[in-house]
Structures are given as C-alpha cells and as structure tokens.
Structure 1
Amino acid sequence: MPIRNLSDFDLKSLRIFCAIADAGGFTQAQTSLNMHLSKLSTTISDLEVRLGLKLCQRGRQGFQLTQDGLAVYEASRGLFSDIDRFIGNLGALHGQPAPNIHIGLVDGLLTLPQMPTAQALRRFREQLPQTQIHLHIHRPDELEKLVLEEKIAIAVGAFHHNLSGLVYTSAFQEEQSLYCATQHPLFASSDEHIAHSVADHDYVERGYMQESQRPCQIRLKKAAVAYTMEAISTLVLTGQYLSHYAQQWQQQGLLRALQPALFSYSSTFSIITRQGKTPDLASQLLQDCLLAATK
C-alpha cells in the first residue's frame, strides 16, 4: 500500500538514499554522510520496506538503481527542491533571502570583457548580502548535467547543443580564433602559406566537444586533448600546437591569430536553468544581474 504521508524520518532516509545514488554506491557515500556501511544498508532496507519498492541493486556487480529507485530518486530531488524554494520564499517574506545559491561557470570567463562576472556577482551581493554563494567551475557538459540534476541553480558557458530539460538564455557572443605561439613555425608565416599548410600542424582539441572541422572544412590534425582553457593555453604556449584560444595571450604578443577571416567563428555564451522549475528569489536576481552585466 502506498504511503499517505512523510515523516521527518522518511525525509531523512530519502536524503540519505539520494546521497548514496549521487555518490555511486554505499561505500563511496560513507565519508560524505559520516555513517557506517551497516547503518547505510539498514536505512535503505527500512526505506524500501516503508515504500514497498526495491530501490537499488547492490552486490558484486556494483551499485545500480532499479527503475523504481530512479523514479523515487527523481521525485525526491523534486521534493527537496520544492522544500528549499518554499523555505527561501518564506524567508524572503520576512526580509530574509535564501541562504545559499549554487552557481556554475566555465573556466576563463573572468578575462572576457563581454562577461564581467565579478561585476554581476557584486550587484547580486549588494541586493542579497546574506546569501552564501557556492561557485563551481566545470566543463560545459558537466554544467548541463549539474543543472539538470538541480545541484546548481544557474550556469554560464558556451553550450553547443541544447539538452531537453534546460532553458538556454543567450547572454553574449565571443569571437573564437585559431592561434599559435611565438615559437611555432606558423607564427612568422604568410597568410597564403598558413592556408595551405595549417592542416599539417598539430592541434589542441577540447575534450568535451567536437570542433576540429569548425569553422571551415579543413580537418585539423588533432594531436592533444585539453579539458579546460588553462590546459589549452599551457599546451599552445609550448609552441608545438594550434588552438582556438585566446585573445589575452595575443595582446601580450605571445600568440598570433592565424587568418581570422578564414578560421574565426562566433560562439554564443548562454545562461542555463532547469526547465519547468520556477526560479526562487536568488536565482532570478542572479540571472538578471548576469544579463545586465553583458549589456
């Protein structure tokens, strides 16, 4: 028989269940929950009895949610999100903002003049000074996953595909160019030579996207893979690779943009939020501050 109401103990057990699912298993969740393995196992077994559902498989083949377990996990995440939003909105009625907000950014945003991140966060803090900001730096694909899972409320990055369940709000455009360092053979080459030989040189590709054929049909020679802008710049500054990054190094004379008319393209940076989720006071204010900072 389905349960008719939830007790505080039920909510605590559901939070433990979600933490185990997030960690990928009972053993992995012990440290974050500060609970012994036997206690975790007993809690989930009791919860399964309470719900009348088998939530997960655990054994030699590892931890895996059942179909019912996945449904309970998603329903629990929605429940906790609603509770947090209710508490935040209730606090706002008393002049107290929501205590926490989790924000996600791709790395490298700090140096972009089109996205004055610090200015946006300053405006946000001026209006909600008691809100504690949790700032996360991740790859674009990781940010999308975290927003979908409602682990962060809002994220900013260049996303090259629109996922179902997310809302993408365009914020600004950034020009991407193909660069080499001063030590690279193409640094002092003519445009004509570059056009004919660029495909023969090693290229640093971003590990989270397929971009080797953009913005033209030339298939660049992938020789290294990097997952952050800092990693890309480190490899390019060796003088051994080409990459679509980065204007700040060009201004210092350390990099050259190779034939911008041919190899440059515009990339859209967007603010993403969870589709179907009414933003709380802090999330809506932060999005407004981010959009205002790009104008």
Structure 2
Amino acid sequence: MLNRLQESDIKLLRVFFAVASCNGFTAAEPVLRMQRPNISAAIKKLEERLELVLCHRGRGGFQMTKEGEVVFQETKRIFNAFDNFVFNLKSLHDDYSGHITIVLMSGLPMNVVKAVSRSVKSAMDKFEDIHFNVQTRLYNEVEHAALSGECHLVVSCYDMVKPESIIFHELPCSIEGQLYCAKSHALAKCIEAIPDNVNLKEHPAIGITGMSPANYIGDERRLNIQTFSDSYESCLPAILTGEYVGLLPDAFVETHPFGDDLVPIGGSEFTFKHTMYVMNGKNTRMNPVLKHFIRELEYFVTQ
C-alpha cells in the first residue's frame, strides 16, 4: 500500500498518465520515447505500488478499470498543479515560458470557443515557448477548478453567489436561453406563453446541477424539477424523450443536429441570461501572459 509518494512513483505516474491520455501503450510510445515492454513494466510496477489494477491490456485492446479512472483524474490534478507551480515560479524571474492550463465550461457558445482559440494564438505569438493546455469541466465543477490550483484560468458563466476566494473578470458576452421541450410534448404549442390554468407540477422538468435555483422560478410559478443532469449536452436526451421540459441555451439548440426537434415554450417567463467570466483563484499569480490572454479574450468575443 502506497503511503508516501517517492520520486520514482512520480516517474511511474507520468508513464501511466501518458498511456491513459493516449488511450493505449502503442500510441504512448512516441510521447514517452519508450518502447512498449518498458512502458508495460512501468505500469506493472505502479500497480504493485498502489496494489490496484489500473488497466486491462490484451487482445481486447487497452481499457482502464474504475480504479484506473480515479488514479488518472487525480494524477491529472497533481501534474496540472505542478505545471502551474513551475510556471508561477519562472514568472518571478520574468521567465514566462512553460504550460498554461485553461479550463472551459462544457457547452460554451462557438463564438466564445473561437475567441479562446484566437486569444491562445495571440499569446503564443507574443510570448516565446508558451504552451496551452485547454480542458473542459462541467457546469458544477468550474468553481472547484478555479479554486483548486489545477488551472490558471477558467472561462465560464456563473450565476451563483460569487465567493470572495475567486476573482471574476467579466466578459462582454453572455449565454442566453429559455425553456424547451420536444415537439411531441403536451406543452409544445405554448410558444408565446404557458396558460395560467396549466399546472406545471404535472409536467416534469430536468435541471442542471450547479445552476442557481432562481432559474427555475418564473413570474409566479416554478418548474417541477424531477431529475438533474450535469451539462446541457446530457440534459438534451431527456428533453427529446418528450417526457421533460428543460432550460437550454439558444445558441446550443440552434447549432445542435437535433435542434429542429425542440420547441421554445413559455415566452419570456423562463428565459435566462448568464454573464460570461474569466475566473481565477486569488492565489493565481496574474503574470503578463495571463493578463494578455484575458485582454485578448475580451476583444475577440465581441468580433
């Protein structure tokens, strides 16, 4: 049983991290610059150290176990935090080379995603030897990502009470949406408004984990939330069944292949508008690279 990490364990974890990220031993060879027998031996040694089976390999191909998935996610957090530490340490010497980790909330509008891409390119052109690691998190995970130190910046909307431990840089854009249902739903004809005599308790709704409950309250009524999902993407299948209504961003619906199967309902009663932010923990050192990225993002999201 592993009670304390040693330097040799870190090396083994890096091998496992590369294999898991590449989804296989063969694909990880050029990344690690190691031959497959050596990679296999390192994974086996790590499994012995942890007393866990991390992955299955054989004719069926590479497949991580449940324990391996947990170790992979925790390893990702460790290495992200370590890379951030090294980057911040270098910046104390006016050396801005290294890796920057940006976390994006899943389901962002395409104009925001494109603006992030252009801002990354601008920062890489301006500063030498800078590399960006862009990751995604679910709606209810962005606050933790900003606070944990596993990333430098988070790009997300945020409609909860803002914690003092996070700094919010407001972007000149927002995510707007409304209540949707499938065309087969009983309320599909209520586009302009849901009649006052309709009892919303008779129509189950699906909510988004982490979203403020205020979003589910209309003028004098509230949605009957019966189940939750962790993202707009995973909320959509439930709505398409015709059994649930749910809040979705307009841009998400307009660009989705199944968007034509949805109907906006309720008029303005259940509309929402969530401001976009760049978020960072107060312990994040705001060096010139991060400041440049934020300035560029503020510009590009308006283009």
Shorter-chain TM-score range: 0.5 to 0.7
User: In structure 2, what residue type is equivalent to 1:154?
Assistant: L
Aligned length: 231
What CA distance in whole angstroms lies between the structure 2 residues aligned with 1:79 and 1:107? Answer: 24
For 2:268, what is the secondary structure of its paired residue?
helix
Question: Which structure has more strand as a fraction of its residues?
Answer: 2
Counterpart position of 2:189: 188
- RMSD between superposed Cα atoms in Å: 3.6
Shift, 1:227, TM fit: 0.1
TM-score (norm 1): 0.65
Q: Deviations over 1:224-270 (max 9, x none)?
A: 21001110122222222111103243575322221332221221121
| Residues 112/182 of structure 1: CA separation in 2 closer, same or farther (3 Å cut) | farther
- Bigger drift between 82-91 and 241-250 goes to 82-91
Structure number with greater Rg is 1
Are residues 253 and 194 of structure 1, via their aligned partners in 2, closer, same or farther at CA, if it must alter by over 3 Å? farther
Q: Structure 1 residue 86 and structure 2 residue 93: aligned?
A: no
Distance 1:291 1:109, change over 3 A: same
Hey, what's the Cα distance between the residues in 2 that align with 1:228 and 1:219? 21
The equivalent residue for 2:166 is 166
Q: Counterpart of 2:244 in 1: which secondary structure?
A: coil
Matching of residues 243-258 of structure 1 within 5 Å: 243-248=246-251, 249-250=253-254, 252-258=259-265
Taking the aligned partners of 2:271 and 2:153, their CA distance within structure 1 comes to 29
Deviations 1:73-132 (A, max 9, x none): xxxx9999665323245463xxxx421011111111143569733333333333346322
Match of 1:152, SS state, is coil
Q: Which residue of 1 aligns with 2:205?
A: 203
Change (3 A) 1:192 1:215: closer
Q: What is the 5 A alignment of 1:79-158?
A: 84-88=87-91, 90=93, 92=95, 97-112=96-111, 116-128=115-127, 130-158=129-157
1:1-295 to structure 2, matched below 5 A, reads 34=46, 37=49, 84-88=87-91, 90=93, 92=95, 97-112=96-111, 116-128=115-127, 130-159=129-158, 160-171=160-171, 172-189=173-190, 191=192, 193-197=194-198, 199=200, 200-211=202-213, 213-248=216-251, 249-250=253-254, 252-295=259-302
Q: Distance in 1 between the 2:82 and 2:117 partners?
A: 32
Equivalent in the alignment of 2:19: none
Report how far residue 136 of structure 1 moved.
1.7
CA contact (8 A) 1:89 1:281 kept: no
Distance 1:129-1:202 versus aligned 2 partners, 3 A rule: farther
Q: TM-score, normalised by structure 2?
A: 0.63
Query: Could you tell me whether the CA contact under 8 Å between 2:193 and 2:266 is conserved in 1?
Result: no
Structure 1: runs of 5 or more not aligned: 1-11, 20-29, 39-76
| C-alpha distance in 2 between matches for 1:103 and 1:118 | 11
- For residues 27-65 of structure 1, the C-alpha deviation after alignment (integer angstroms, 9 at most, x for no partner) is xxx98x959659xxxxxxxxxxxxxxxxxxxxxxxxxxx
Structure 2: segments with no counterpart, 5+ residues: 1-5, 14-41, 51-79
> Which moved further from structure 2: 268-277 or 160-169?
268-277
Give the percent of matched residue pairs that are identical in Structure 1 and Structure 2: 13
Partner SS for 2:133:
strand
The answer for the alignment partner of 2:39 in structure 1 is none
